[in-house]
Every structure is written in structure tokens, then in C-alpha cells.
Amino acid sequence: MSAPVILHCAASCESRGGIQSMLAYHWTHESGLGFHSRFIGVFDRLSSRGDDSVALAGHGWETVGSLRRRFTVAAHARPADVTIYHDGWGLEWFAPLDGSRRRVVLVHTEQPHFDTRIRAQAPLVDGFLTVSQALAARIRRVLPEFPPDRIQALPSFVDPPAWFAGSALTPGRHGAFRLGYAGRVERSQKRLDRLPALIAALDRHGLDYEFEVMGGGDLEPVLQRELASHPRVKFLGWRQGEEYWRTLASWQALVLLSDFEGFSRAAMEAMIGGVIPIHPDFSPAAAELLGATAGRALYPVGDMAAAAERIVHLAAAKSEQLTAWRMEGRRHLAQHTLGNYLSLYDRFIRSLLSGLPRARPVPPPGWHDVMPLGVYTRIFPASF
């Protein structure tokens, strides 16, 4: 019997981000589960996984119909047993064309219009996977009629080097309180445009600190100009491998400024290394991620004064208390391992294939095909 084919469809399979990092693990490990992996990146220009990865090179000026035709060719090159639409991107256009036996949406982020989007996706899929228990619970509330065993939390995982996960958490600190951000330097979702306000709030408190930005994006040059003369802020660019982990380990706190996330991989990696996230409180998933540290680390979304107060409170803690908080975060994520993730994923996919199908994908209205992609996504933001 041939290996079941799993097709992963995402807005991008190649860019730098949490979803792309997770897709890389699927590429590496799915064969060990007895699956054959394929990938379609809607907006990717190049693909890195040979014949099993297709970059559709989508762009805002082409029509939905043009994109759908290219998707059909890519999907039918080797028809899938299960197609996984990451965050549901393109589901309404592609589901009637993918030729798959089963369809799944893997929910990574709790985006705006979440409930509306989930209701629209439900008739088109056989199941939902989510990166947190809180997201799975929300989908069950929104879709009480959906089979509950087909809504599965697939908690995100951390896979750091052994030295990082087992490093000693030395008490206290010397010199400035070291803060950092890791990820895309963008306004959309990540809201790095709030960084100057946070820096100003920290300065008003008179805190002795250093803030490093590890990552890159279209907002980076703007921020570099705005904060060029600030002695406490440094832009490191993208760092990978050992350099990434060494930088992360040098911080006392990781600061996120986002409007929304799912289960932030950067925050999880930080916590395993004993770094405390300062995290926006945008949903129950945020408290689930932080565990016992949530009460002292969560702040209202967009409130930079409150975020600065959380940081100042951490910096003022006694060394023994700070070390205890860091250990809490590490223990909280002890079961969020790659092995547990793959085991849950394997059971869900095989259960889905052994059960009856429920998806009833129907072609979208004909006018979709003549609509430029960029225009469509702006008129109907709840679909993306």
C-alpha cells in the first residue's frame, strides 16, 4: 500500500515565520510517519523541496481564475489523500479543485473575523486542527454541530538545542535589563510600529535596559531611522541556527507587540530558555501559552504604557523570584515536544482517513474568477 499523500497549502511555504518553520518540520518528519508530503505556496516565487513543492507565484493583479488554474495543475500532479489548508488560505477557491479525499484547516492564528471565517470554512472541510486548546474550544463553540472529535488541538512545539533547553538559570543579572523581539518587523499583525512608543514609555520609567530587534521586514528601515540615535536600541537583522539561540538566551524578557497570534513560536522558544515573554492579552490562548506566568506578563493589546509597567516590574524583582518565574515557564512547556506533536498529528490524520467524509466543497460564484486577487482580498477581508 502506497503512503498517503499529504498536501500542505499555505500563503507561503518559504518565507520566514512560524508557519513556515512548522512546515519545514512536516517536510522533514512526515515520511517517518508513513506519509508523503507535498507543498503549494500561493505567493512563493521559488520552491525549495524539488518536485514536491510548487510555488504558484501569485500576485495581486492576476485574477482568481488564473490562480485557480495553476493550483489545479499543481494539485493534480500527485492527488492528495489529505489537503491541509494552513489558516484556511484559499480554501473557498481551491477545495473544489484539489481532488483530495479529505480536507483540513490547520488554524495557526486567531485573526480578525475569526468566527465568520470558521463558519464559512466548516462545510468545505472534514476537520480542524489548531495550535492550542483555546482555539479548539472556540471552534467548538462557533460550530456546535461539527463532530467534536474532528476538532483537534495540536499544541505547537519547541525543538531547541539541548544546551539551550538544559541551560542553568543563573540568579540575578548584571548591568542593563536585556529585552528583545524576534520575528518579522512588520506593521501588519506584528505591530512593530508600536516599538517607539514602548521605548518612550520605558525611558519615562528611567529603566536601565537594552532592547534588541532580531528579525527583518518592510518596517525595519523606518524604525532604524526613527530610533537611530537611541543608545539602548539595536537592530540585529535575521539570525539563524546557533546565533539565533545564543542571542535569545542573552535576554531576560521577550517583548511581543502583536494584534493577534496563535501560539507564538518565538515566545515558546524563549520560555524554554528561561526568557519571560511580555505578551499581549488578546485571547485565552495567550494565557494558555504563558501558564503560571500569565498574571505578571500579559498586558492589554496595544497598551505600551502597560507593557512598560510589566517590564519594569520584572526588572525590579529579586533575583531568586526572577529565577523562579523563569523556571515556571520552562516547566509549563515541558510536554510541548516535537514527538508529542507528531504523535497527535499522525492519529488525527489516520482517524480522518478511516472515517466517512463530510466536506461538500462547491465551486465559488463565477464572478470570483474575473476578480483581481488583490481587489478581492480587500473587499472580503473576512475570507483571509
The C-alpha atoms of residue 139 and residue 127 are separated, in whole angstroms, by 11
Last residue of a domain, one of 315, 332, 349: 332
Are 301 and 351 found together in one domain? no
Are 275 and 199 found together in one domain? yes
Name the stretches of the chain with pLDDT < 70: 1, 167-174, 382-384
Are 328 and 184 found together in one domain? yes
Are 135 and 248 found together in one domain? no
The C-alpha atoms of residue 337 and residue 156 are separated, in whole angstroms, by 8
Whole-number pLDDT of residue 168: 62
Q: What percent of the chain is predicted at pLDDT more than 90?
A: 72
Are 169 and 248 found together in one domain? yes
Whole-number pLDDT of residue 260: 87
Whole-number pLDDT of residue 261: 84
Sorted by sequence, the CB contacts under 8 Å of residue 250 that are 6+ apart come out as 178, 180
The pTM assigned to this predicted structure is 0.89
The C-alpha atoms of residue 293 and residue 214 are separated, in whole angstroms, by 23
Show the domain range for 305: 162-332
Are 16 and 105 found together in one domain? yes
The total of structural domains in the chain comes to 2
Return the amino acid letter for 15.
Answer: S
252-269 residue pLDDT tens? 999 999 998 878 889 999
Are 250 and 190 found together in one domain? yes
Are 146 and 188 found together in one domain? no
For 192, 283, 307, the CA distances from 184, given in Å and listed in that order, are 9, 21, 19
- Classified as helix, coil or strand, 83 is strand
Last residue of a domain, one of 332, 355, 372: 332
Termini Cα distance of the chain: 37
- Per DSSP, what are the bridge partners of residue 128? 105, 151
Are 316 and 295 found together in one domain? yes
CATH number at residue 231: 3.40.50.2000
Are 151 and 40 found together in one domain? yes
CB 81 within 8 A of CB 100: yes
For 8, 131, 189, 335, 380, the CA distances from 124, given in Å and listed in that order, are 16, 20, 26, 32, 18
Are 177 and 322 found together in one domain? yes
293-303 residue pLDDT tens? 888 899 999 99
Q: Is the dihedral of CA 178, 311, 237, 223 positive or negative?
A: negative
Angle, helices 265-272 vs 18-29, to 10°: value is: 80
Whole-number pLDDT of residue 25: 93
Whole-number pLDDT of residue 18: 81
Q: Is the dihedral of CA 296, 298, 303, 304 positive or negative?
A: positive
The C-alpha atoms of residue 20 and residue 240 are separated, in whole angstroms, by 14
Are 140 and 221 found together in one domain? no
Nearest to 59 by CA among 70, 48, 73: 70
Classify residue 226 by burial, with Cβ atoms within 10 Å: 0-12, 13-18, 19+.
middle
